[in-house]
Amino acid sequence: MAVKTELKRLQFRLMKKSITLMLRRLYSETVAIHSVFNIIESNKAPVRWLPYYIAIITAAQLREPLTARDITDAVTKSLCAEHSKDFLCESDFATVIHLHRELAEICWLHKSTIILKGKLASFRYKNEESCADLFAYDAGVYESERCRKGPISQQLHDECKHLSSQIQKAQAALDKHLDENPSREVRDEAHESRQRRIQLLKETEEVEARWNSDNLKFTEVKASVESRLNELDNMASNEALDRSIKAMVKEAEENKLREIMEGEQTASSGASEEYGSRNKNVTTEMADEARAWIRAWFAKEKRE
């Protein structure tokens, strides 16, 4: 009798230790179920896998902190599964082990999903102020279970619900107060915004005034440069005109002299010289008249 009692106590302690270990790995959020299976199945005897599969199932299905009754039920299930080997064939017993393995995996994944949803709610509660009150309850439950590495009691669930309700009421009251009575911070922010707009308008006007001044200076400089360019063009035109007049006069003189020399080859030397001198004087007078006429015409064009 004493041996049986001691055996039950040993089974109870082993199961409690296994369930506690599975809870810690489950709430660590870093351990995958397949790595747990690899450790369990390193034992060559499949019958030894059953207690650990049942420990996983029990840990994943807990809704409140682990109790002695939960441990006792897990030990009973484990013993029943192990004793089924005595009246089942080897293939049927292998099926029993496989079913417990699949059930353990399903329960683990389901609980992991719930934990990750709680983690998401905690993140949004901390980072999204606009809807933080909506995630207060789930965030509170997640943080409490993460600290305890296991589920919390129903009493703590009720306290989280109560606190979440108070947070929602307080947030609603604050929103209503801010809508009806703008706070000092809101007024100060509005005043600062108005001052910034005024300063921006002043800066804009200064920039526009500087731009207009620079544009006026540019116009004056442009007009001065254009005037100087026109003067230079006129000077160049006058010089070219003078060169053209001189070339025309020189060409007329040469042509006239050539005509005189060709027409008077048979005349006497004295008559030829007198005739040539008279014609030369005539040519000079014609050249002077041409120069005077061209200069008068150029002066008239310049005045216009």
Domain end (from 157, 177, 197)? 177
Is the domain of 131 the same as that of 35?
yes
Output the pLDDT for position 113: 93
Would you state the structure tokens that stand for residue 231, as one six-digit string?
């003067």
Output the pLDDT for position 268: 46
Output the pLDDT for position 8: 83
Output the pLDDT for position 98: 92
In a domain? residue 20: yes
Higher pLDDT, 55 or 137: 55
In a domain? residue 69: yes
CA distance to 83, 200, 202, 215, per residue, from 206 (Å): 95, 10, 6, 14
Is the domain of 145 the same as that of 219?
no
Residue 40: which residues within 8 A CB-CB, separation 6 or more? 49, 52, 53
In a domain? residue 9: yes
Higher pLDDT, 7 or 190: 7
Is the domain of 9 the same as that of 91?
yes
Q: How large is the average pLDDT for residues 135-161?
A: 85
Counting the structural domains of the chain, the total is: 2
Is the domain of 234 the same as that of 164?
no
Mean pLDDT computed over every residue of the chain: 77
Residue 82: which residues within 8 A CB-CB, separation 6 or more? 47, 50
In a domain? residue 182: no
pLDDT tens, residue by residue, 93-120: 889 999 999 999 999 999 999 999 989 8
Label residue 18 by pLDDT band (50, 70, 90): very high
Domain end (from 124, 142, 177)? 177
Q: Is residue 97 within 8 Å of residue 37, measured between CB atoms?
A: no
- Domain extent, residue 171, equals 2-177
Lowest mean pLDDT among 68-77, 129-138, 210-219, 281-290: 281-290
Q: Is the pLDDT of residue 275 over 50?
A: no
pLDDT tens, residue by residue, 166-206: 877 877 777 777 677 666 666 667 667 767 766 776 776 67
Q: Is the pLDDT of residue 271 over 50?
A: no
Output the pLDDT for position 73: 93
Is the domain of 247 the same as that of 156?
no
Three-state helix/strand/coil letters over 232-271: HHHHHHHHHHHHHHHHHHHHHHHHHHHHHHHHCCCCCHHH
Label residue 56 by pLDDT band (50, 70, 90): very high
Output the pLDDT for position 272: 47
